[in-house]
């Protein structure tokens, strides 16, 4: 595993051989959230796990904008993977929306697209994410002496230890204190934009698309299918049993299986 960075985004590469697969994480996440999935795809695929803007080690921006984020990803891919031609792109949640915009705005960059548990629509369970953002913002970092203090404070509002662990990956030791690596102020302010989906001006992507939903999640609903198929005419929907919104972490073996089948399929 090696690290790479450019003037735009930070990322980690897993694997040394095979066709490139680019992973785009969701809200609060980092590229490394896909490490186990990427390792399971090797050696047939090598994976680039990107940190999206305002997350991980990537730069912060002044506002959240899906089109601008997709353009930044395209710029990074052209610089880092210019010799590979179009690449496979996998995006979850917020990263799935970025991945959709990337395919619609820069179709020459994308070979096959995988959208995990999100739809090209506004709405979804924003209340849950607002609660999580408010819970993180309520922690007074100046009073922390160790990471366990943050977990104890967060436990008062977020009872699921796994969710707390996921959120607290954004907490970084900084000198004698702590800081948030994610741009929490911007993410709280622009949450309605993150929960939305921009006008795509009639663009379509004609490459193969796999749409993966969790059967215990409400982010992908039957009424979303017409919009998805208008934007992505070659869409196949797969629903993973026993998976909620974080399909790749809740059902990793099934997720890897459908990825392998889709990425390795012959063209129609």
185 flagged as catalytic: yes
Do you know the residue count of the chain? Answer: 268
Q: Catalytic pick from 185, 206, 215, 218?
A: 185
For residue range 84-116, list pLDDT tens digits in order: 789 999 999 999 999 999 999 999 999 999 999
Mean pLDDT of the chain: 92
Q: What is the mean pLDDT of residues 201-219?
A: 95
Residue with tokens 């990825």: 259
- Residue 124 is predicted with a pLDDT of 67
User: Largest Cα–Cα distance in the chain?
Assistant: 59
The sign of the torsion formed by the CA atoms of 193, 196, 201, 204 equals positive
Q: Catalytic pick from 25, 92, 224, 245?
A: 245
For residue range 213-249, list pLDDT tens digits in order: 999 999 999 999 999 999 999 999 999 999 999 999 9
93 flagged as catalytic: yes
Tell me whether the omega of the peptide bond preceding residue 203 falls within 30 degrees of 0, making it cis.
no
Separation of first and last alpha carbons in the chain: 34
Contact 215, 239 (CB under 8 A): yes
Where helices occur in the chain by DSSP H, the ranges are 35-41, 66-80, 94-105, 126-137, 147-155, 161-168, 184-189, 191-194, 225-231, 247-250, 252-263
125 flagged as catalytic: no
Please give the model's pTM, rounded to 2 decimal places: 0.93
Q: Catalytic pick from 47, 93, 217, 249?
A: 93
Instruction: Name the DSSP class of 107.
Output: G
For residue range 31-89, list pLDDT tens digits in order: 999 999 999 999 999 999 999 999 999 999 999 999 999 999 999 999 988 777 899 99
Closest CA to 53 of 78, 32, 80, 24: 24
Residue with tokens 């066709």: 19
Q: What is the mean pLDDT of residues 133-152?
A: 93
Q: How far, in Å, CA of 110 to CA of 105, rounded?
A: 10
Contact 48, 81 (CB under 8 A): yes
Could you tell me if residue 124 is left (phi over 0), alpha (psi between -120 and 50 degrees) or otherwise beta?
Answer: left
Contact 244, 213 (CB under 8 A): no
Tokens coding 228: 């998805």
Q: In the CATH scheme, what architecture does the domain 2-124+196-263 have?
A: 3-Layer(aba) Sandwich (3.40)
Domain ranges for the chain, please list them. Answer: 2-124+196-263, 126-189
- Residue 228 is predicted with a pLDDT of 97
pLDDT at 5 over 60: no
pLDDT at 1 over 70: no
Q: How far, in Å, CA of 212 to CA of 234, rounded?
A: 14
Pairing of strands 209-214, 10-14: unpaired
Dihedral, CA of residue 106, residue 112, residue 117 and residue 122, to nearest 10? 20
């Amino acid at each position: 595993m090696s690290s790479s960075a450019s003037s735009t985004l930070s990322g980690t590469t897993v694997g040394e051989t095979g066709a490139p697969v680019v992973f785009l994480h969701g809200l609060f996440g980092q590229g490394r959230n896909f490490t186990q999935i990427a390792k399971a795809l090797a050696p047939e695929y090598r994976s680039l796990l990107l940190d999206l803007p305002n997350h991980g080690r990537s730069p912060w921006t002044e506002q959240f904008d899906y089109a601008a984020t997709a353009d930044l990803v395209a710029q990074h891919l052209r610089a880092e993977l210019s010799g590979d031609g179009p690449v496979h792109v996998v995006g979850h949640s917020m990263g799935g929306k970025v991945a959709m915009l990337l395919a619609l705005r820069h179709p020459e960059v994308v070979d096959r697209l995988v959208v995990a548990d999100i739809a090209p629509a506004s709405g979804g369970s924003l209340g849950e994410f607002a609660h999580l953002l408010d819970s993180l913002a309520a922690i007074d970092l100046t009073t922390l002496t160790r990471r366990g203090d943050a977990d104890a404070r967060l436990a008062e509002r977020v009872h699921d230890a796994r969710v707390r662990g996921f959120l607290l990956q954004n907490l970084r030791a900084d000198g004698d204190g702590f800081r948030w690596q994610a741009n929490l102020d911007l993410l709280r302010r622009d949450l309605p934009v993150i929960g939305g989906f921009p006008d795509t001006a009639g663009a379509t992507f004609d490459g193969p698309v796999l749409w993966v939903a969790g059967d215990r999640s409400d982010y992908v609903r039957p009424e979303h299918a017409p919009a998805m198929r208008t934007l992505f005419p070659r869409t196949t929907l797969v629903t993973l049993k026993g998976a909620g919104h974080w399909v790749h972490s809740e059902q990793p073996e099934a997720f890897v299986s459908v990825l392998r089948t889709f990425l390795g399929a012959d063209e129609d």
